[in-house]
Structure 1
């Protein structure tokens, strides 16, 4: 396995995946865009150092973490409240810490002040993330940034810089790995290159702290420490997978050092509950419910009073275990469809059988999620939870976990359907229907392909194309929220990817396949039906594509490299609409 060439098809398991294949950058290299863009057109902007027009600019300022302006004075008594906010808004997605110990350390810092031990470093990182995070609110789409957001960023930067000054003195331990992990979470949503470096340090520290232990060492380890090591391993697995989907990065040894446990061990449930019964989410492709770890009968006290006030620990772990399993399925999809060049997808019959299997798996997962993850549903728009759920104390946490899990399912589906949308764009077998707003019927589609494939395959292909378009619209709707979280950068990348895929459909002359002929994408005004152009009006500044560009513009205030995404998307919209208009004339 170690000697496998990454250019060849990766191993069939979920550890190894080809990098940077299912991304917006790759879509820009599709033939429909006529070699106008390179593989690094978008992602390259994140790794380019921009030098301001200032003769006093010091190139070394990019080599250290600094606070814009000055370090704020730290109020240690405020740290406990910020750590609680971190537990509620951030830790729920990666429950890798000993919460009781973290709360105790925060109280100690509040009483005795900061020192240079790992505990203080972790408290500072938790405080930084606590300041910058907010409870989930689905109605933040039109929210404008105000001065309080800037002040929060500056305060958070202070805690982060103070934590970074302590990172260099940490020895290899599980707490050291946790510090590097959450230092990476701080920058996750925009600073992709810095985040990867911090992630690699996390993995390096973890390899010393949590190397494969002997039987005697396992016996001596406390269950709490063992659970933290397992959780850190699988969180690193998730992070590396996320990085390699979007960035052209090498595979680390983590993919070859298979963990003995298929899942991290969740804490023991409260009396009268059985986590194994509630987590009815057995992974279809890897053995079912038997893969989900059983919990110990012993009672692990995790500051239950404080936790019950902040969030429901069971919900957090349901989400965490489900996301790990869905990441495996997603990696298998990437291995199955993206090990080759996209042009191989023109032989689409070869992929239909695999697509049916994965589509069935994802549908089964979606249908059998735990009740805790069903507070949130996605269709063509986000729906609010019912009024009874809305009265619960943990409503914002439950909403965010359900929303994030729905995004993970949409992401996996978008990878699954991308080859079929590529086929629609590039196959000469599909007639162009630019002059009508009506989608071709399944019967007509099957008839057009009579000489190329069986009717059964043609019907399946038709459904995958329709599902791919619907999935793309759902992603534009659900992943364009101005909600700061450690997966924000991936939300922006996903929105860009599906936007480009949809514009590829427009440019290739297949706009009729889109709902309402693409009107919802750019919200056409003054439709000219007389000249045969009932949909190709507007400049993309409105509608769902306009919303995507608005989101990029919003976050570009903090990450100027995102301006490149706006420029490219505007170019693609203009050229695609112009090409479609030429095809119909």
Structure 2
């Protein structure tokens, strides 16, 4: 009922032509800042004629404060072809040891699926029985199982630990080689799925994308997410009251939203063409949970819906800031950010106790992975709010009334690195995005240190944060060429603050 009410409110807001900003979707949070009339966006303050800058590393490296480093000539992160360190044919067989396969299945559901609960475990168990009886075929079911086993071969529980096996050693490990065998076998079956629009086909492409993300191959992963989303676009929107059709529709809702979130967050980081990047439209519905949720599954669904709600908020922020051919004056933007801050606070208040951020609960360890991911997405949302103030200030256009947002933006950079520290050495769907976002935050902090007018605004702990990112990149540098280059970029930037801190640390 709550989700239905939120959908109704959002549709109402979207229908109002004179108010593009959804002021409040939550009745229990008072609104103190009025919304922004659409017609005022085109009004430009005389000395603030600038266009928004996208929040990714490639744009940051073009900032004038780094001109002396010639990064634009030295590093072309995304124009470099992705390196595939794996053999095209692997000697390991994909003949299944069904006892071992059961362990891989459990690992997948405990450590991978729980963050994107689009499958039903009982359905997958039925697929396993079919494969046990008939053998691995060339159909979507067999492809899905092979991808599940690939994930199970490399998945590990989320724990707070320091560096373990290096990324270069991981590539030689038995678990990774077995995972690659499963993945390569699944790839051979994907061509037969391209002309179909079923939910299981979309799930195959999605899981392939997640696997490539977990093994730091983001461009290939994006292609898989695009194909998964293409399958979803072909879903029929006609619904009936028949239980079987309703269950199928709910399954399609879940995979649609999951593909949408993954493709969008990766597209924004990959710095694709502006025409594609600015497509921020999203489905109007919230996905419906399956019947008979268990306790752990219930927490996973709260997490899943909270993640979607935050994604919708960030898209509204992006949609406001990146309106085509619109130049937004700083004064109007400040006014809008107050609105968005209220919506973000309302999202925080809406979280159930098990997922509440910065609050100790009896189930803290059990639900820590959920809170870790939600905290990261919340910081992404905050970064989007304050990003333009950072860009303006580092370009030498500091506005007195925006100092508060500037300070908040710099603090988000430190908070992101500190909050992600517990996951620096954990392999998962978002590892590559974490490496990029933390590196971006470190670059912003170093840019601020290079700006005379901003040094005094740097938050406490910023030096340790930059050093932490450098250590993280050293751990992953052997697995991906762009990670190696990000490390070289950070090491190439002289910083008196970081250098002095390292001297004291030694």
TM-score (norm 2): 0.78
| Structure 1 SS opposite 2:192 | coil
Q: Does structure 1 residue 336 correspond to structure 2 residue 316?
A: no
- State the distance in 2 between where 1:566 and 1:256 align: 31
Task: Choose the corresponding residue for 1:319, options 287, 293, 303.
Answer: 303
Q: Which residue of 1 aligns with 2:459?
A: 515
Question: What's the Cα RMSD here?
Answer: 3.5
Q: Does structure 1 residue 181 correspond to structure 2 residue 240?
A: no
**Deviation (angstroms), 1:79:** 1.5
Q: Which residue of 2 aligns with 1:29?
A: 62
| Structure 1 SS opposite 2:109 | helix
Q: Which residue of 2 aligns with 1:406?
A: 375
Q: Does structure 1 residue 265 correspond to structure 2 residue 288?
A: yes
Q: Which residue of 2 aligns with 1:462?
A: 403
**Deviation (angstroms), 1:504:** 1.2
Taking a change above 3 Å as real, the CA distance of residues 477 and 262 of structure 1, as seen in their structure-2 partners, is same
How many residue pairs get matched? 444
Q: Does structure 1 residue 229 correspond to structure 2 residue 249?
A: no
Contact in 2 for aligned 1:472/1:498 (Cα 8 Å):
yes
**Deviation (angstroms), 1:27:** 1.7
- State the distance in 1 between where 2:368 and 2:188 align: 35
- State the distance in 1 between where 2:451 and 2:330 align: 18
- State the distance in 2 between where 1:206 and 1:262 align: 14
**Deviation (angstroms), 1:93:** 1.5
| Structure 2 SS opposite 1:194 | helix
Contact in 2 for aligned 1:19/1:246 (Cα 8 Å):
no
Deviations 1:87-110 (A, max 9, x none): 111111211113211122224434
**Deviation (angstroms), 1:174:** 1.5
1:121-132 alignment to 2 at 5 Å? 121-132=143-154
Contact in 2 for aligned 1:476/1:544 (Cα 8 Å):
yes
Deviations 1:218-270 (A, max 9, x none): 758532211111112111221232123212335669969864x5211112355
Range moving further from structure 2, 166-175 or 129-138: 166-175
| Structure 1 SS opposite 2:271 | coil
Deviations 1:308-356 (A, max 9, x none): 6xxx1111111111111111111122222345899x78x5323110111
Q: Does structure 1 residue 490 correspond to structure 2 residue 472?
A: no
Q: Which residue of 1 aligns with 2:232?
A: 206
Task: Choose the corresponding residue for 1:547, options 459, 463, 468.
Answer: 468
1:237-248 alignment to 2 at 5 Å? 237-248=260-271
- State the distance in 1 between where 2:278 and 2:67 align: 38
- State the distance in 1 between where 2:77 and 2:325 align: 24
Taking a change above 3 Å as real, the CA distance of residues 39 and 401 of structure 1, as seen in their structure-2 partners, is farther
Q: Which residue of 2 aligns with 1:77?
A: 99
- State the distance in 2 between where 1:151 and 1:20 align: 43
- State the distance in 2 between where 1:428 and 1:194 align: 39
- State the distance in 1 between where 2:99 and 2:71 align: 51
Taking a change above 3 Å as real, the CA distance of residues 400 and 237 of structure 1, as seen in their structure-2 partners, is same
- State the distance in 1 between where 2:254 and 2:222 align: 19
Range moving further from structure 2, 29-38 or 471-480: 29-38
1:26-425 alignment to 2 at 5 Å? 26-34=59-67, 44-49=76-81, 66=88, 70-71=92-93, 74-110=96-132, 113-138=135-160, 140-145=161-166, 150-170=173-193, 172=196, 173-189=198-214, 190-208=216-234, 210-213=235-238, 215=239, 219=242, 221-249=244-272, 259=283, 261-268=284-291, 312-339=296-323, 348-374=330-356, 377=358, 385-386=360-361, 388-389=362-363, 395-396=365-366, 398-425=367-394
1:524-563 alignment to 2 at 5 Å? 543-563=464-484
**Deviation (angstroms), 1:73:** 5.7
Deviations 1:174-194 (A, max 9, x none): 111110110011012421211
Could you say which structure has the greater relative contact order, defined with CA pairs below 8 angstroms and 6 or more residues apart? 2
Normalized per residue, the structure richer in helix is 2
Q: Which residue of 2 aligns with 1:565?
A: 486
Contact in 2 for aligned 1:128/1:159 (Cα 8 Å):
yes
Give structure 2 stretches of 5+ with no counterpart: 1-18, 23-50, 500-506
Taking a change above 3 Å as real, the CA distance of residues 151 and 547 of structure 1, as seen in their structure-2 partners, is farther
Q: Which residue of 1 aligns with 2:38?
A: none
- State the distance in 1 between where 2:142 and 2:430 align: 25
Contact in 1 for aligned 2:66/2:447 (Cα 8 Å):
yes
Taking a change above 3 Å as real, the CA distance of residues 328 and 75 of structure 1, as seen in their structure-2 partners, is same
Taking a change above 3 Å as real, the CA distance of residues 238 and 428 of structure 1, as seen in their structure-2 partners, is closer
Deviations 1:197-237 (A, max 9, x none): 112221222333x1333x55x75853221111111211122
| Structure 2 SS opposite 1:169 | helix
Range moving further from structure 2, 407-416 or 184-193: 184-193
Q: Which residue of 2 aligns with 1:506?
A: 449
| Structure 2 SS opposite 1:485 | coil
Taking a change above 3 Å as real, the CA distance of residues 40 and 135 of structure 1, as seen in their structure-2 partners, is farther
**Deviation (angstroms), 1:421:** 2.1
Q: Which residue of 1 aligns with 2:8?
A: none
Give structure 1 stretches of 5+ with no counterpart: 1-10, 52-60, 271-303, 379-384, 431-448, 450-457, 523-542, 579-585
